Chain A
Amino acid sequence: DVKVTQSSRYLVKRTGEKVFLECVQDMDHENMFWYRQDPGLGLRLIYFSYDVKMKEKGDIPEGYSVSREKKERFSLILESASTNQTSMYLCASSFLQSPYEQYFGPGTRLTVT
Protein backbone atom coordinates (compact mmCIF):
# COMPACT_ATOMS: atom_id res chain seq x y z
CA ASP A 1 0.00 0.00 0.00
CA VAL A 2 1.12 3.52 -0.79
CA LYS A 3 1.91 5.43 2.31
CA VAL A 4 2.15 9.20 2.41
CA THR A 5 2.87 10.61 5.83
CA GLN A 6 2.84 14.20 7.03
CA SER A 7 4.87 15.40 9.98
CA SER A 8 1.98 16.85 12.01
CA ARG A 9 -1.78 16.40 12.06
CA TYR A 10 -2.36 19.69 13.88
CA LEU A 11 -0.18 22.77 14.13
CA VAL A 12 -0.72 26.17 15.72
CA LYS A 13 1.65 28.99 14.79
CA ARG A 14 1.83 32.73 15.33
CA THR A 15 1.67 35.37 12.60
CA GLY A 16 5.13 36.01 11.17
CA GLU A 17 6.61 32.65 12.15
CA LYS A 18 8.40 30.48 9.60
CA VAL A 19 6.54 27.20 9.26
CA PHE A 20 7.79 23.89 7.83
CA LEU A 21 5.40 21.15 6.76
CA GLU A 22 7.05 17.85 5.90
CA CYS A 23 5.78 15.04 3.70
CA VAL A 24 7.32 11.61 3.10
CA GLN A 25 6.18 8.90 0.68
CA ASP A 26 7.43 5.33 0.54
CA MET A 27 6.40 4.27 -2.98
CA ASP A 28 9.30 5.71 -4.97
CA HIS A 29 6.93 8.18 -6.68
CA GLU A 30 8.58 10.80 -8.88
CA ASN A 31 5.83 13.40 -8.44
CA MET A 32 4.91 15.09 -5.18
CA PHE A 33 2.30 17.78 -4.59
CA TRP A 34 1.17 20.25 -1.95
CA TYR A 35 -2.49 21.32 -1.84
CA ARG A 36 -4.54 23.40 0.54
CA GLN A 37 -8.17 22.61 1.23
CA ASP A 38 -10.63 25.27 2.33
CA PRO A 39 -14.41 25.06 2.79
CA GLY A 40 -16.20 26.25 -0.31
CA LEU A 41 -12.98 26.42 -2.32
CA GLY A 42 -12.06 22.76 -2.54
CA LEU A 43 -8.49 21.59 -3.12
CA ARG A 44 -6.05 23.99 -4.74
CA LEU A 45 -2.54 23.17 -5.87
CA ILE A 46 0.24 25.21 -4.26
CA TYR A 47 3.39 23.60 -5.72
CA PHE A 48 4.47 20.37 -7.20
CA SER A 49 7.75 18.60 -7.92
CA TYR A 50 8.51 15.95 -10.55
CA ASP A 51 12.08 15.24 -9.48
CA VAL A 52 14.63 16.01 -6.81
CA LYS A 53 15.38 19.74 -6.69
CA MET A 54 12.72 20.42 -9.37
CA LYS A 55 9.58 22.38 -8.59
CA GLU A 56 6.75 24.09 -10.40
CA LYS A 57 4.21 26.61 -9.18
CA GLY A 58 0.62 25.55 -8.88
CA ASP A 59 -2.41 27.80 -8.80
CA ILE A 60 -1.71 29.57 -5.50
CA PRO A 61 2.07 29.68 -4.81
CA GLU A 62 2.18 33.17 -3.25
CA GLY A 63 3.47 33.13 0.31
CA TYR A 64 4.84 29.59 0.01
CA SER A 65 8.05 27.90 -1.05
CA VAL A 66 9.04 24.24 -1.32
CA SER A 67 12.10 22.06 -1.04
CA ARG A 68 12.82 18.62 -2.43
CA GLU A 69 16.29 17.40 -1.54
CA LYS A 70 15.43 13.68 -1.56
CA LYS A 71 13.01 11.77 -3.77
CA GLU A 72 10.82 10.63 -0.89
CA ARG A 73 10.55 13.95 0.93
CA PHE A 74 8.80 17.20 -0.05
CA SER A 75 8.64 20.17 2.30
CA LEU A 76 6.29 23.14 2.21
CA ILE A 77 7.58 26.35 3.78
CA LEU A 78 5.55 29.33 4.88
CA GLU A 79 8.19 32.04 5.04
CA SER A 80 6.13 34.35 7.26
CA ALA A 81 2.84 32.80 8.29
CA SER A 82 -0.30 34.90 8.03
CA THR A 83 -3.81 34.28 9.30
CA ASN A 84 -5.12 33.73 5.76
CA GLN A 85 -2.86 30.68 5.56
CA THR A 86 -4.93 28.92 8.20
CA SER A 87 -6.07 25.85 6.31
CA MET A 88 -5.83 22.09 5.84
CA TYR A 89 -2.65 21.21 3.94
CA LEU A 90 -2.54 17.98 1.98
CA CYS A 91 0.49 16.32 0.46
CA ALA A 92 0.15 13.86 -2.43
CA SER A 93 2.41 11.75 -4.64
CA SER A 94 2.16 9.87 -7.94
CA PHE A 95 4.21 8.06 -10.54
CA LEU A 96 5.53 10.05 -13.50
CA GLN A 97 3.65 7.81 -15.96
CA SER A 98 0.33 8.20 -14.16
CA PRO A 99 0.55 11.73 -12.77
CA TYR A 100 -3.16 12.12 -12.07
CA GLU A 101 -3.49 9.03 -9.85
CA GLN A 102 -2.42 10.84 -6.74
CA TYR A 103 -2.16 9.34 -3.26
CA PHE A 104 -2.79 11.72 -0.40
CA GLY A 105 -1.46 11.98 3.11
CA PRO A 106 -3.78 12.51 6.11
CA GLY A 107 -3.34 16.29 6.07
CA THR A 108 -2.03 18.92 8.47
CA ARG A 109 -4.53 21.33 9.94
CA LEU A 110 -2.61 24.58 10.41
CA THR A 111 -3.96 27.43 12.48
CA VAL A 112 -2.16 30.78 12.36
CA THR A 113 -3.09 33.14 15.17
Chain B
Amino acid sequence: GQQLNQSPQSMFIQEGEDVSMNCTSSSIFNTWLWYKQDPGEGPVLLIALYKAGELTSNGRLTAQFGITRKDSFLNISASIPSDVGIYFCAGHPIFYGGSQGNLIFGKGTKLSVKP
Protein backbone atom coordinates (compact mmCIF):
# COMPACT_ATOMS: atom_id res chain seq x y z
CA GLY B 1 0.00 0.00 0.00
CA GLN B 2 0.86 3.67 -0.11
CA GLN B 3 3.39 4.81 2.47
CA LEU B 4 4.75 8.07 3.71
CA ASN B 5 8.24 8.20 5.18
CA GLN B 6 8.39 10.83 7.86
CA SER B 7 11.64 11.88 9.49
CA PRO B 8 13.01 12.23 11.98
CA GLN B 9 10.99 9.83 14.13
CA SER B 10 11.80 11.88 17.20
CA MET B 11 13.81 14.90 18.17
CA PHE B 12 14.64 16.96 21.21
CA ILE B 13 14.31 20.71 21.17
CA GLN B 14 15.68 23.49 23.31
CA GLU B 15 13.52 26.55 23.62
CA GLY B 16 14.38 29.04 20.90
CA GLU B 17 15.74 26.48 18.44
CA ASP B 18 14.41 26.08 14.90
CA VAL B 19 13.03 22.66 14.02
CA SER B 20 12.69 20.90 10.65
CA MET B 21 10.96 17.71 9.65
CA ASN B 22 9.97 16.19 6.34
CA CYS B 23 7.84 13.64 4.63
CA THR B 24 8.59 11.74 1.43
CA SER B 25 6.74 9.34 -0.79
CA SER B 26 7.42 7.28 -3.89
CA SER B 27 4.10 8.52 -5.33
CA ILE B 28 3.00 11.94 -6.54
CA PHE B 29 0.62 13.71 -4.16
CA ASN B 30 -1.93 16.42 -4.99
CA THR B 31 -2.38 17.53 -1.38
CA TRP B 32 -0.12 17.70 1.67
CA LEU B 33 -1.22 18.51 5.19
CA TRP B 34 0.48 18.81 8.55
CA TYR B 35 -1.22 17.96 11.85
CA LYS B 36 -0.13 18.15 15.49
CA GLN B 37 -1.34 15.78 18.19
CA ASP B 38 -1.03 16.45 21.90
CA PRO B 39 -1.15 13.52 24.36
CA GLY B 40 -4.69 12.21 24.83
CA GLU B 41 -6.13 14.43 22.08
CA GLY B 42 -6.99 14.13 18.42
CA PRO B 43 -4.76 15.63 15.70
CA VAL B 44 -5.20 19.33 14.97
CA LEU B 45 -4.78 20.65 11.44
CA LEU B 46 -1.85 23.09 11.16
CA ILE B 47 -1.32 23.73 7.45
CA ALA B 48 -2.81 22.49 4.15
CA LEU B 49 -0.92 22.69 0.84
CA TYR B 50 -2.42 22.23 -2.61
CA LYS B 51 0.16 23.28 -5.23
CA ALA B 52 3.68 22.13 -6.01
CA GLY B 53 6.15 24.70 -4.70
CA GLU B 54 3.58 26.29 -2.39
CA LEU B 55 5.00 27.76 0.80
CA THR B 56 2.49 28.50 3.55
CA SER B 57 2.94 29.89 7.04
CA ASN B 58 0.85 29.67 10.18
CA GLY B 59 2.52 31.79 12.85
CA ARG B 60 5.94 30.30 13.55
CA LEU B 61 5.19 27.28 11.37
CA THR B 62 6.07 27.15 7.68
CA ALA B 63 5.34 24.24 5.38
CA GLN B 64 6.25 23.60 1.76
CA PHE B 65 4.80 21.38 -0.95
CA GLY B 66 7.85 19.94 -2.71
CA ILE B 67 8.45 20.71 -6.38
CA THR B 68 8.56 17.01 -7.25
CA ARG B 69 5.14 16.58 -5.52
CA LYS B 70 6.64 13.65 -3.65
CA ASP B 71 7.65 15.47 -0.49
CA SER B 72 6.74 18.15 2.02
CA PHE B 73 8.62 19.98 4.76
CA LEU B 74 7.58 21.60 8.03
CA ASN B 75 9.70 24.15 9.86
CA ILE B 76 9.06 25.57 13.31
CA SER B 77 10.98 28.70 14.15
CA ALA B 78 12.02 29.77 17.65
CA SER B 79 10.44 26.77 19.34
CA ILE B 80 8.59 27.14 22.64
CA PRO B 81 7.65 24.45 25.22
CA SER B 82 4.08 24.12 23.91
CA ASP B 83 5.45 22.97 20.54
CA VAL B 84 6.06 19.58 22.16
CA GLY B 85 3.84 16.86 20.68
CA ILE B 86 3.63 14.55 17.69
CA TYR B 87 3.57 16.08 14.20
CA PHE B 88 2.00 14.09 11.37
CA CYS B 89 2.21 14.68 7.67
CA ALA B 90 -0.69 13.47 5.54
CA GLY B 91 -1.55 13.58 1.90
CA HIS B 92 -3.65 12.31 -0.94
CA PRO B 93 -1.79 10.51 -3.74
CA ILE B 94 -2.79 11.66 -7.20
CA PHE B 95 -3.45 8.17 -8.51
CA TYR B 96 -4.81 6.73 -5.30
CA GLY B 97 -7.79 4.45 -5.70
CA GLY B 98 -9.15 5.50 -2.35
CA SER B 99 -12.25 7.60 -1.95
CA GLN B 100 -12.63 11.35 -1.67
CA GLY B 101 -11.03 12.59 1.51
CA ASN B 102 -8.96 9.45 1.98
CA LEU B 103 -5.64 10.54 3.44
CA ILE B 104 -2.41 8.65 3.90
CA PHE B 105 -0.69 9.55 7.20
CA GLY B 106 2.98 9.47 8.11
CA LYS B 107 3.96 7.76 11.34
CA GLY B 108 4.77 11.03 13.06
CA THR B 109 7.70 13.02 14.44
CA LYS B 110 7.74 13.23 18.23
CA LEU B 111 9.05 16.53 19.55
CA SER B 112 10.29 16.53 23.14
CA VAL B 113 12.09 19.06 25.31
CA LYS B 114 15.81 18.53 25.88
CA PRO B 115 16.43 17.45 29.47
Contact = CB atoms under 8 A, between A and B. Distances in A.
A101 B100 contact: no
A103 interface: yes
Contacts of A42: 88, 105-108
Interface in A25-46: 31, 33, 40-45
Contacts, number: 68
Interface size class of B (residues with CB under 8 A): 20 to 34
Nearest to B30: A100
B106 A33 contact: no
Interface of A: 4, 9, 31, 33, 40-45, 48, 50, 56, 58-59, 90-92, 94, 98-107
Given A48-B99, A58-B98, A106-B41, 17 more contacts: A9-B40, A31-B100, A41-B107, A43-B90, A43-B105, A45-B103, A59-B98, A59-B102, A90-B42, A94-B101, A100-B91, A100-B103, A101-B48, A102-B45, A104-B35, A104-B43, A107-B41
